[in-house]
Amino acid sequence: MIEQIKNILPNEINNKIILLLIKSPNWRIAKDHDSDLKLLNDLLDVSGSTYGNSLVTYNGLSNFYLDSPLNYYAEIIYEIVKKHTKHKFLKPVRFYWNYYNMSASAAPHTDMDENYYVSFVYNLNDNNGGTLINNEFYKSNAGEAIIFNSNIEHSSVQHTDVKSRFNLNCVVELQRNI
């Protein structure tokens, strides 16, 4: 089941987050499960895929926490989504901030293999790109989160109407009945 939650934060706050993102160090090429050799070939070959960039500010699985105001915003977004979703959130597992230019996209991938995680993509700006989940397109609407099972294959869809696309990808562990 895919949920959409609208109007999480106002555009003025989203723009403050974007300003923090563009001033942040530690960005990397967004790479999911592809091999390093495929990534290298894609980046150096004219016919290869293009990739977006990712800034990891929290990863509970590897005990990584970047001391940044971005995590405060991510936690606020997480709590608002938690309040409005039907899922029983236990805790966030990771916060990945994503940047895409007009030629970049993410290849189809899953965020986690297990079925007790959900992901949400929180869009920071309006654009005609978006997220493809189970072959269904979800447009990037600022202030909106799209929630889906983390083991469902999804990908980004290139935008053509603005120069940049920003979002937060959060993976959440769900409560489990024992």
Residue 35's pLDDT is 66
CA distance 142 to 164: 13
User: For 106-110, 119-123, 156-160, which range has the lowest pLDDT when averaged over its residues?
Assistant: 106-110
Task: Determine which helix (DSSP H) or strand (DSSP E) holds 175, and give its type and residue range.
Answer: none
Q: Is residue 98 within 8 Å of 170, Cβ to Cβ? A: no
Summarize pLDDT for 32-83 with one digit per residue, the tens: 555 677 667 766 776 666 778 999 999 999 999 999 999 999 999 999 999 9
What's the mean per-residue pLDDT of the chain?
92
| Statement: the pTM of the whole predicted model exceeds 0.75 | yes
CA distance 84 to 105: 29
| Over residues 130-149, mean pLDDT | 97
Residue 78's pLDDT is 98
Residue 178's pLDDT is 64
Summarize pLDDT for 6-16 with one digit per residue, the tens: 999 999 999 99
Residue 89's pLDDT is 98
Residue 172's pLDDT is 98
Please determine, for residue 31, whether its predicted confidence score (pLDDT) is greater than 70: no
Q: Is residue 56 within 8 Å of 68, Cβ to Cβ? A: no
Summarize pLDDT for 142-155 with one digit per residue, the tens: 999 999 999 999 99
Gyration radius of the chain's alpha carbons: 15
Set out the domains of the chain in order of their start, with CATH numbers: 3-174 (2.60.120.620)
